[in-house]
Homo-oligomer: A and B are copies of this chain.
Amino acid sequence: MDATSRAAGSTALLTDRYELTMLQAALRSGAAHRRSVFEVFTRRLPNGRRYGVTAGTGRVLDAVENFRFTTPQLDWLADQGVVDEETLRFLADYRFTGDIHGYPEGEAYFPGSPLLTVEGSFAEAVILETVILSILNFDSAVAAAASRMTSAAGGRPCIEMGARRAHESAAVAAARAAYVAGFTATSDLEAGFTHGIPTTGTAAHAFTLLHDTERDAFTAQIDSMGRGTTLLVDTYDLKEAVRTAVEVAGPELGAVRIDSGDLTLLAHRVRRQLDDLGARKTRIIVTSDLDEYAIAALAAAPVDGYGVGTSLVTGSGHPTCAMVYKLVARESVPGGPLVPVAKRSAGAKSSVGGRKWAARRPDADGVAEAEVIGTGPVPEELAGHLLQVPLVLNGESVGREPLAAARERHLRSLAALPLSATQLSKGEPVLATERTA
């Protein structure tokens, strides 16, 4: 299975009504056919974060491909009077025929980075705003948190377990984004089915409580899943549970999971007890309300893996990314040059017009030193460091790749940033954004 297997179901109504009403008015005024450039970017990273992580790109490609209006959808739009007949005819035939370039999945980004550039007629590009932003804002928020967690975990595996704390479909996207940012597995079966992510999980407290004794429960689990399974040992008394676990499973017991209490203290105790019982290879998995700070605090504890739930799927305090989708250039006359445009009212929401390129400039040692963004010709020395890649050309997806490629890219991207990128403490973005004409 790969990311392409999910493609199903129309995404066309995952759209804010104003996009269709703008379309209608622009079809009427004639401006709908002006060639236009929309850009996805964010004005800022969440407070204190050092970098952002591009995620959801593969899902955007599916969403654009599936952006087709079905008859029931068109009937509903007509029935509700959302748009007029002319617009309905346009929508009935709609498919995106333009180009999309963007940061490839897993790549780090910074304030102002042109994460996605959508080019086509105003009509065909304006109506993709919501679905593109929904995907990138959510997936990138989770990936950013996941990246900090996997960095904090060093080489130890992180397992995504947040499905119960997120919308049921968002949970699947969260597992995918976490995998891009270095998580090794997910508890969510749909994420395994849809995206080919490894799934894990053995038992909850309910399984122990179901049986008359903890020993009965452990015996049942070992009988069913073998000695390599993970036993949950904190339903009643931890010490007694560990003893029972090794008695039932023998020293070949795969792992124990601790889901409450002072994890540092308990991990040391359980490690000693397991070692004393001869279960030296039995691993210890911890799973209680972890975030990147808790993971970092456990670095010196004898822990073999982290299960992370709530804080991962909610972006560890930042559940969305503030990415926006802005018109930055458009024709004035058919076939004419693209004219940069930008909102310019007072206040913080102004933006920079023009179609942009972006490059990550390395210093002499190959470490990134700036995110350079420009609208003019690309300076020769930056030509080899451009960040955007083609994703859709003439309406055809050209940017599909296995999730493994995004995982590897994320590691490379992070490794090329200054070392301070992976500090968990609050700070400025680790690269400054330089703007050049």
Contact = CB atoms under 8 A, between A and B. Distances in A.
A182 interface: no
A190 interface: yes
A288 B324 CA distance: 13
A138 B167 contact: yes
Nearest to A222: B25
A17 B167 contact: no
Nearest to A164: B133
Contacts of A326: 205-206
A7 interface: no
Contact of A204 (B13, B22, B139, B168): B22
A225 interface: yes
B325 A314 contact: no
A223 B260 contact: no
A117 interface: no
A343 B235 contact: yes
Given A29-B211, A193-B76, A206-B38, A320 B166 contact: yes
Interface string A319-351: 110101111001010000000011111111100
How many chain A residues sit at the interface, stated as a range, is 35 or more
Contact of A170 (B167, B190, B203): B167
Contacts of A220: 25-26, 28-29, 31
Nearest to A36: B210
* Number of identical protomers: 2
A381 interface: no
A210 B34 contact: yes
A165 B193 contact: no
Contacts of A193: 13, 73, 76
A228 to B, nearest CB: 12
Contact of A163 (B16, B216, B234, B314): B16
A192 B76 CA distance: 9
Contacts of A225: 21, 24-25
A189 interface: yes
A261 B22 contact: no
B169 A234 contact: no
Contacts of A63: 168
A293 interface: no
A204 to B, nearest CB: 6
Q: Which of A20, A169, A326, A344 has the most CB of B within 10 A?
A: A169
Nearest to A331: B210
Interface string A187-230: 11110110000011111111101111000100111011100000
Nearest to A314: B319
Contacts of A14: 163, 168-169, 171-172, 188-190
A149 interface: no
A38 B203 CA distance: 15
A22 B203 contact: yes
Contacts of A80: 192, 199
Contact of A345 (B38, B130, B237, B349): B237
B168 A345 contact: no
B203 A345 contact: no
Interface centre among A170, A259, A288 (most CB of B within 10 A): A170
A61 interface: no
A82 interface: yes
Contacts of A235: 343-345
A234 B161 CA distance: 43
Interface in A307-322: 310, 313-314, 319-320, 322
A236 interface: yes
Contacts of A211: 29, 31
6 contacts: A21-B203, A25-B207, A80-B192, A165-B322, A238-B345, A314-B320
Given A130-B188, A209-B330, 18 more contacts: A1-B76, A11-B168, A13-B193, A15-B190, A17-B187, A24-B225, A26-B207, A28-B220, A28-B224, A29-B216, A36-B210, A80-B192, A135-B168, A209-B342, A235-B343, A235-B345, A260-B346, A288-B349
